[in-house]
Structure 1
Amino acid sequence: MSRFVVSDHHFGHANIIEYCDRPFNSPGEMDTVMLNRHFEVVSTDDVVIHLGDVAMDMQDGRETVERMDALGGDLLVQGNHDVGLSDGQAPFPVVDSCVLSHNGYTFYCTHRPEHGPDNWDGWVLHGHHHNNDLQQYPLINSERKRVNVGVDLLNFRPISLTTITSILDACPPDSHLTDIDAVTDELDV
């Protein structure tokens, strides 16, 4: 069993294609590719922690529940587009944040990185910023101890905590790696 994290699928959201310059012609194509890529890396016995914005669900949470069920999602850290859903309305926990530990690292998991506690000394796993400000919110920002796990930076796949800790172990101080392709090009992981 592995634990995976991911954020910002925005299933069914037509405007996200243009907003994030996603390489899809339609929401249907985007949704199919993201689901297929998800199951290229995630097995049924793995745990999936979604850091928000599963869908563009501002109403009652039904679409978020359907999409999380399709992903086999185990925990939702609520994002700004998951506002129609609260804990107890879903067959999985819905939280504002959580803490995960893996291979000597402790991660505060939140949708928006600015919601991390001021006194937090570990790493922050987050989403929300997509690929729109890679200078401030790249995949890896060692200086600020942040990892942006939005699908736009991960070739539309979730990433395992084992992979994240391997990347962090291999990063020189003050690393600033924009996306998973930059990690592959620059590090031996």
Structure 2
Amino acid sequence: MQYFTADTHFFHERLLGLSEFAPRPFLTVEDMNETIINNWNKRVGPDDIVYHLGDIAILHTRPEKVALEKIFEVLDQLNGRLVLIKGNHDSRALFKYLQQHNHPVGNHNKFEFHDVGVLIKMNHRQYYMTHYPMMLGIVKQIINLHGHIHHYAVPVKENINVGVDTPETDYLTQKPPFGTPFSQAEIEKMVEQKAIDFAKRQ
């Protein structure tokens, strides 16, 4: 199975609380991290693939190696193979550390790395996955899955925010628990319902 997420921001203390940008009602980053890990692992199996569209973690502990070790320890608890697309808060040092500590999961490595984006085909559509929202113009059957903007949505029907804070879960009948990567079926439902929503406005 394939799953999709973004903007987990593990360890990011400044996001704790009830802000408009990224409401994270947790008392500590440990609570937030544990919630994401538990909800992730309830859905994702060891052989599944999760596309993480950037902003994995923010931890300014010094020396830097200690921060990288802690981030690796969290990511290594997550089920599945992680296809990591670099976000604006993801350093080259993090990707380099993860590459150095990569290990097999089944027939593949735990981590796969991309600087800009990944294009996949899924159920007669193409999904271009990036960290930043992309303005693709008038296109048929191409959807941009992205993160970066947290509790906001791009007012374009071909753009779907898959971050953990996304408001586009309003298009789903049942909102998954915080931090749960979105399933293929949920992505398709968001795409279909957003298109219907925008058609009503015209």
Query: Could you report, residue by residue, the CA deviation over 1:156-188 in whole angstroms, capped at 9, with x for unpaired residues?
Result: 211012321133235515179xxxxxxxxxxxx
TM-score (normalizing by structure 1): 0.75
TM-score (normalizing by structure 2): 0.71
Residue 8 of structure 1 corresponds to which residue in structure 2?
Answer: 7
Residue 31 of structure 1 corresponds to which residue in structure 2?
Answer: 33
1:92-103 matched pairs, under 5 angstroms? 92-96=111-115, 97-103=117-123
- Indicate how the Cα distance of structure 1 residues 110 and 17 shifts in structure 2: closer, same or farther if over 3 A, else same: same
Q: Which amino acid aligns with 2:118?
A: C
Is structure 2 residue 101 aligned with structure 1 residue 77?
A: no
CA contact (8 A) 1:55 1:67 kept: no
- Indicate how the Cα distance of structure 1 residues 4 and 118 shifts in structure 2: closer, same or farther if over 3 A, else same: same
The 2-side partners of 1:86 and 1:27 are apart by 22
The 1-side partners of 2:157 and 2:191 are apart by 13
Is structure 2 residue 165 aligned with structure 1 residue 152?
A: yes
- Indicate how the Cα distance of structure 1 residues 144 and 169 shifts in structure 2: closer, same or farther if over 3 A, else same: closer
SS at match of 2:16: helix
Q: How many residues align?
A: 167
- Indicate how the Cα distance of structure 1 residues 103 and 32 shifts in structure 2: closer, same or farther if over 3 A, else same: same
Identity of aligned residues (%): 29
1:133-152 matched pairs, under 5 angstroms? 134=152, 137=153, 143-152=156-165
SS at match of 1:71: coil
The 2-side partners of 1:27 and 1:120 are apart by 40
Is structure 2 residue 146 aligned with structure 1 residue 126?
A: yes
Q: Which amino acid aligns with 1:75?
A: V
Larger Rg: 2
The 2-side partners of 1:57 and 1:82 are apart by 10
The 1-side partners of 2:11 and 2:85 are apart by 19
**Unaligned ranges ≥5, structure 1:** 177-189
Q: Which amino acid aligns with 1:125?
A: L
The 2-side partners of 1:6 and 1:64 are apart by 17
SS at match of 1:39: helix
SS at match of 1:25: coil
**Unaligned ranges ≥5, structure 2:** 103-110, 170-177
CA contact (8 A) 2:2 2:51 kept: yes
- Indicate how the Cα distance of structure 1 residues 173 and 152 shifts in structure 2: closer, same or farther if over 3 A, else same: closer
Query: Could you report, residue by residue, the CA deviation over 1:102-122 in whole angstroms, capped at 9, with x for unpaired residues?
Result: 1111111111114x6668651
